Structure 1
């Protein structure tokens, strides 16, 4: 075959390899293009009659991948697309520093929270350039590429694209963990989905006596009543005559001690014709909260006005209108007076340390405060 014919083969093969990757995103197309070039090189190499390569051919056609390397393409992509902090493939959003180093959302937020605790500028762990929510942006191409890479199902151990894994594990996998439909009357069984029909046909709970079922349902009702008690309390507070609420913004400050500690404080605000301030602290003013994996925030409400008589109030904090932090409301009570104008520090009811890192990573913490004055 002449050199011209070899180039024709390459030109004819290239469109097929590139068009196959257009449906999986920019990076996915690049992955398939690499595999297509390797296959094309192998085919052209077999048809060549002479050992001398054509000097006019593009360099990529002359370079042949070593045998067996194409099967490790996914592993090579894993090392390229993984987070520079936890060295794992990102599960959600992917951020990059100004030099292009990748960080998963969890590690990015954790780095910003650590910098807040240590009063330092957050930096990329790879190149040490400054990072912040304004300087870093999401890498959508990497997010799409990662979603197309295969991963193993936790239950059946089969390979699936990451983008379809969640639906497979929740709805399709025959080995996914499921519960008996008689769980509502106390059946504790759980096991693989494919064993569910056999269990339900032999489950003993439908044949229990009414007395046994009443005992089980009584325990379930008790748990439900505990959940409803909070909401009923909030509804009762909404009937009070004097109700006030406002958006509050916690700003970070440092103590003047030898070992400074991070704390938060809001500007003075007015609710119910009184002046108030909110303060918050990290891990109950632990000496080095940046060394702890578990992080919490606690707050106190302070009355700055002078009052003629005791002011008995109930109050609670909720998330702000534009925040995504999860807060489970808790109602607190205090009788304010000139001698007792501060509440004790109470925990901010966030679900876990991940939510706390979200708040610490933000420049300011925005929440909504409700105060209900108890009428005597």
Structure 2
């Protein structure tokens, strides 16, 4: 892979409207969330409903640019990046999955009419039922909704409370235990926060060093939420990829609090999204292969992944599974919506050691 192609996958060129959620901290549980779908209020003329606006590959209704093949089948910006620009697809590259017609990257076919209709269609907020244009839905759900989540005003000194704005927020702020903590207790809390921050900083430094390794390759990872429901507490294979003359499986699991099979549907119920890289067919592998790798958020995902890094793992027949890494933490409500309704895009960078 040439340096130019690697840069295209690692840092694709984006316009302002493509940057869905790039300015949010990966550990911000309030703002780093998958986009609300909204409830359709009025029809879309000849289209009838939102179903006809779904991407033919991931089956989601896009929030950014929309492309199409010559026969009018719609493709969201993320799937277009993979289907048309990712050369690792081989014979499938640059073809419409619906009709098989060729799609050329030199002749971009963007459907601005559908983009405009989707932006202007009236939807209702799922939390407060307020009617508004779809283009304003995400900003409303994060900043203006009367039922949105918020954190305690003492968060910076250690309080981890989160809840609905309004009466509950005011009641907590009045009775928050951090208002009455002594200086020694606050210093201990700040010490823990500083230690956690330093670990994240060191991890980011290691990722930057990793990007300078010589034998590095990149693969696009796409979780499509349409084949089957992704169950909690079980690793699910998201994608099969080829790299370094071996076949790999990219697996994810969302772990619920106390490993409950039926998690509490409250928005504050914490869950964790885990990532693991495995040899797909380890029986045929004889010699071990040492790899270092990291999973990064793609520009087209609704959410930002937490910094993660496997410094080294020797994959072999007896040791086919890489270490488990935490990439996202949020409520059951948001992780369920991410995996089973929205899906996500990621970039897996691998280096041979």
Output the TM-score relative to the length of structure 1: 0.45
Output the TM-score relative to the length of structure 2: 0.48
Q: Which has the larger radius of gyration?
A: 1
Higher relative contact order (CA 8 A, sep 6+): 2
